[in-house]
Amino acid sequence: MKKTPPVVGAGVTRPSDDKLVQMYREMVLCRALDERVWMLNRQGKAAIVASAQGHEAAQIGSVQALQVGKDHFYIYYRDLAVLISLGLTPTEIMLGFTAKAGEPLAGARQFPTHGASKTLNLVNLSNVVGTQIPQAVGSALASKMRGEDAVTIVYFGDGASSVGDCHEAMNFAAIHKLPVIFLCENNGYAISVPLSKQMAVDGIVSRADGYGIPGVVVDGTDIMAVYEATSEAATRARDGRGPTIVETMVERYLPHTSDDDDSLYREQEDLEEARKRDPVRILQEQLIGAGLLPGDTDSVIRNEAKRVINEATDYVDAAPYPEATDFLDHVYS
């Protein structure tokens, strides 16, 4: 897969040093959480796991370029790091993976990370790939109608870009210049189907012209590039200049989900190449280079992450499954 260098507009503020370290903290925490839920899956405690490993920079870099509490987030199953960056705790998230009582997004009625959070303006209604794209456009339409300057960002994979809904939604958003950011996490695979069998081009950004909207490709393992592209898209959206496609080129480190066996279709070499683009390591090196992880800061961050994850694991281990007493509720208002 050809990786296009980041094309970022001028005039966007780079994240502050503090923010960079905060993003690193979130990345480390997310990676630790991700590894833990895979372990829980192998132990039979988590029925299904989809991993954000390799996608963390794209997810955290974009969230941090937006205004949590005001903007709207339409995510998909791979967006674990979006949840972390929005402020969900590892315990809350792990209640989802273990389907335990008190799970905040869906009461454990749904797959992990699915459901919604009203306070966070977070929506992940379903597992049906691509359906969130028109929904996000509708959210942006609502914000615009009320004259709010909230932005809606919608996350989706390269696979989702093939769905008719993606086309219809982008076209509508373009016509009405809606404040929406189409953030594609292009990892080159829809489960086993490689990009070359999903499209005859290298990525989706070349579609932007067909809708008459701007599109940008960024290295999705470079959190700075993602942050900047998203910031610029957000500014454009808030200024009434309409939607942007931000295509982030990322890697999927692991099988599609814990149910998948990627050795059936993925070359070992391809995987090894992919692992060289580890967003956590890349940011770590950038921060060390910039002197932003002085002394034992890095190991403090990592130990703290481990501690939180351990605590969360203990909590969810002890938590009960939900009672089935009210499983018929909330069908109608």
Partner 1 sequence: MTVQTVIEAVRDGMQEEMRRDQSVFIMGEDIGARGGVFLATDGFVGEFGEDRVIDTPLAESSIAGIALGAAMNGMRPIAEIEFADFIWPTVNQIVGEAARARYGTLGQMCVPMVLRAPQGGGVRGGLYHSQSVEAIFAHTPGLKVVTPSTPYDAKGLLKSAIRDDDPVVFLEYKRTYRLVRGEVPDEEYTVPLGVADVKLPGDDITVITYGLMVHHCIEAARIIGNEGVSVEVIDLRTIRPLDNDVILASVEKTGKVLIVHEDTKLLGVGGEVSAIIAEHAFDYLDAPIVRLAGPEIPAMPFSPTLEAAFLIDTEKVSAAIRNLARY
* Window 115-174: residues binding its own copies (CB under 8 A): 162-168, 171, 174
How many Cβ atoms sit within 10 Å of the Cβ of residue 331? 5
Q: Which is nearer to ligand TPP, 182 or 315 (CB)?
A: 182
Q: From the list 193, 271, 292, 308, which residue makes contact with partner 1 (rule: CB under 8 A)?
A: 193
The phi-psi region of residue 113 (left if phi > 0; otherwise alpha if psi is between -120 and 50; otherwise beta) is left
Q: Specify whether 176 is catalytic.
A: no
CB 210 within 8 A of CB 41: no
Q: State the binding partner of 185 from partner 1, its own copies, ligand TPP, none, CB within 5 to 8 A by kind.
A: ligand TPP
Four-CA torsion 77, 80, 82, 86, nearest 10 degrees: 120
Q: Which of 31, 207, 256, 266 is catalytic?
A: 256
CB 256 within 8 A of CB 191: yes
Q: How far is it, in rounded angstroms, from Cα 194 to Cα 188?
A: 6
Q: From the list 199, 271, 292, 308, which residue makes contact with partner 1 (rule: CB under 8 A)?
A: 199
* CB 277, min distance to partner 1, A: 23
Give me the phi and psi of 198, to 5 degrees please: -100, -25
Q: State the binding partner of 165 from partner 1, Mg ion, ligand TPP, none, CB within 5 to 8 A by kind.
A: partner 1
* Window 284-303: residues binding its own copies (CB under 8 A): none
CB 34 within 8 A of CB 52: yes
Give me the phi and psi of 130, to 5 degrees please: 95, -20
* Window 216-235: residues binding partner 1 (CB under 8 A): none
**Residue span binding ligand TPP (CB under 6 A) among the ranges 189-197, 230-238, 275-283, 313-321:** 189-197
Q: State the binding partner of 78 from partner 1, its own copies, ligand TPP, none, CB within 5 to 8 A by kind.
A: ligand TPP
Q: Specify whether 265 is catalytic.
A: yes
**Residue span binding ligand TPP (CB under 6 A) among the ranges 128-136, 227-235, 280-288, 292-300:** 128-136
Q: Which of 167, 176, 241, 265 is catalytic?
A: 265
- Provide the mask over 191-230, with x wherever binding to its own copies is found by CB under 8 A and - wherever it is not: -----xxxxxx--x-xxxxxxxx-----------------
Q: State the binding partner of 300 from partner 1, its own copies, Mg ion, none, CB within 5 to 8 A by kind.
A: none
Q: Footprint of ligand TPP on this chain (CB under 6 A)?
A: 78, 127-130, 157-160, 185, 187, 189-191, 252, 256
Q: Footprint of Mg ion on this chain (CB under 5 A)?
A: 157-159, 187, 189
Catalytically active residues are: 252, 256, 265
